[in-house]
Structure 1
Amino acid sequence: MLELPKLTPEHFEILVVRELRKVGLLVSELRVHRRATLPEPERGYLLELKGTVSRGPWHRRVLIACRRQDAAVGRAEIESLRDRFGEADVEAGILFATAKFDRDALAAAKDACMALLRVTDGRTAFDTSGWGTPGHYPAWLPAYCAQTIARDLLGEPRYQLLESGQADAIVNQLRTETVDPGEAPRA
């Protein structure tokens, strides 16, 4: 079995842009906002990117957090990112993480105008996606893929591979209660 390439901060940034563009979002004005090494038990790093995501007339200034870590992402990580929105002068956040998200993280993200995406290896994503026979991988399969996260009927996290044309899976989580740019007021 081939070993996965190391997910460096630079590769993580490329992955984020690729996955957002794949679903139909334009990513612009992207720059590094912050880098940090995570202490135990997370064992990894945090890369924050500041930029704009848009689709048609809709756009949002966002802080994109890239967390490579082993420990599950919880409420504290969501709230920490949300607390930096003002400092970064952004309206919303997108959190990509290599770890699973716990139930509290999903609840906190819903209240924080934040989209959550899990980064998983391409083979695991393929095996669980129903695209083809598990264990038989096409040449085009990327080393890493992103999955959207939603709650199932019991409130537990449910992961689904992010596919082309699924911008709404992210956009709907980044909408605010006020009228979004390019939208008619909601009744």
Structure 2
Amino acid sequence: MRSYEDLVTHLTPTEFELFVKSHLEKIGTGLTSFEAKHNQKLAGHDGTYQIDVKAVFQALGCDFLVLVECKHQSARVKREVVEVLFNRIIALGAQKGIIFSTAGFQSGAVEFATSHGIALVHVIEGRFTYQVKSAEKEEYYSLPSWIEIPKYVGDFAYINRQGFEGRSSIEIGRMDDLYSFLFNGFVE
């Protein structure tokens, strides 16, 4: 049995990108003029960049551009990957960036992302959010028939204003910490 830390979803990289896009569309329904597009080529002042998902919406009378990168891999995302997204945000004049990963993030990536306003979301199978004590490892993540957990959920990693690393489970209907980070720049 695979461990929680080694989990990589069974989606292909393209399916993972489309999965992220569809979830962004679901959470963006409350925003004005929200639109998410997959596999976009955007022209910046210094070149053209391929972006996995481009999200645009209006808020406070302004247009917002969010660049989303999807990393379907078995190794944790390194700081350098977050730095590349940060440089793309600057080059394209975007307001925010988000990286979704199937393998999580190294601590340097979390530190850099938090200090530059980039959200990091580790996508895991929902069953890994439900744990019971069991002598049998195969049963450790077995779900009772009465429980309703989404197939996939996000584990949002951040460092709060006091400098403590935190994690928040996000799914449709439970996005408060991610919204706070994206719009306020921090999580309490």
Q: What TM bracket, shorter-length normalisation? A: 0.5 to 0.7
Query: Is the 8 Å Cα contact of residues 89 and 95 (structure 2) preserved in structure 1?
Result: yes
> Aligned AA for 1:72?
R
Give the structure, 1 or 2, with the largest relative contact order (CA under 8 Å, sep 6 or more): 1
Query: What TM-score, normalized to structure 2?
Result: 0.65
Q: Is the 8 A contact 1:145 1:161 kept in 2?
A: yes
Gap runs ≥5 in structure 2: 2-7, 42-49, 133-139
2:20 and 2:117 map into 1 onto residues whose CA distance is 18
Identity of paired residues, percent?
25
Asked if 1:75 is matched to 2:83, the reply is no
Q: How far apart are 1:121 and its partner, in Å?
A: 1.6
Matched, 1:31 2:38: yes
Q: Secondary structure at the match of 2:174?
A: coil
For the aligned residue pairs, the C-alpha RMSD in angstroms reads 3.6
Could you tell me which of 103, 115, 120 is aligned with 1:116? 120
What residue in structure 2 maps to residue 174 of structure 1? 182
Q: CA deviation at 1:148?
A: 1.4
Bigger mean CA deviation after superposition, 141-150 or 63-72: 141-150
The answer to which of 10-19 and 112-121 deviates more is: 10-19
Counterparts of 2:118 and 2:54, CA distance in 1: 14
Mapped partners of 2:143, 2:76: distance in 1: 29
Shift of 1:98: 0.9
Cα 1:135–1:56, aligned 2, differ >3 Å: closer, same or farther?
Answer: farther
Counterpart in the other structure of 2:5: none
How many residues align structurally? 159
User: Are 2:164 and 1:160 equivalent residues in the alignment?
Assistant: no
Offset, 1:146:
1.3
* Structure 1 counterpart SS, 2:103: coil
Question: CA 1:18–1:110 in structure 2 vs 1: closer, same or farther (change >3 Å)?
Answer: same
The 5-angstrom pairing of residues 117-132 of structure 1 reads 117-127=121-131
Q: Is the 8 A contact 2:121 2:156 kept in 1?
A: yes
Aligned to 2:67: 63
Aligned counterpart, 1:135 = 142
Cα deviation digits, residues 11-48 of structure 1 (max 9, x gap): 223422344325865541423126xxxxxxxxxxx962
How far apart are the structure 1 equivalents of 2:106 and 2:12? 24
What's the TM-score once normalised by structure 1's chain length? 0.65
Contact 1:92 / 1:112 at 8 angstroms: preserved in 2?
A: no
1:55–1:166 Cα change, 3 Å = farther
Aligned with 1:105 (options 106, 109, 113):
109
- Report how far residue 164 of structure 1 moved: 3.8
Matched letter for residue 135 of structure 1: S
